[in-house]
Amino acid sequence: MFLFRSGGDRVSVDDARRRTRGTDAPAVLLDVREQGEWDAGHAPGALHAPLSRLAAGGALPAAAQGRPLVVICRSGNRSQQAAKLLAARGAAVVDVKGGMQAWAAAGHPVVDERGNDGSIA
């Protein structure tokens, strides 16, 4: 089954978690929120690349390069922008409907920069 397209597709938080969970996951969860938001709370195992850095031409984290991406932000707006930008760069990418707010509301884990229970601002 083809799980990723060249941008524009949105997935639920449950689908995002399924696609990015575990060491042999088919995709990388990429959080595009700013540093303070990331530090307060993010999904365990996610990688961080703020949209502002990506929009300025910044590279993806090494562990995300060449991998399918599931992009997440706070509410789903920035992740849509990031998905379009990354698709234009040739990435296989989808974004998460509802973002980290929906992730936390669904009961999925959120950790802070120290690995303790985190929060979504």
Strand partners, 87: none
Residues 30, 46, 73, 85: which is the catalytic one? 73
CA angle 20, 26, 31 (to 5 degrees): 40
In whole angstroms, give the CA distance from residue 4 to residue 119. Answer: 29
Catalytic annotation present for 73 = yes
Q: What's phi and psi for 10, nearest 5 deg?
A: -120, 145
Give the active site residues: 73
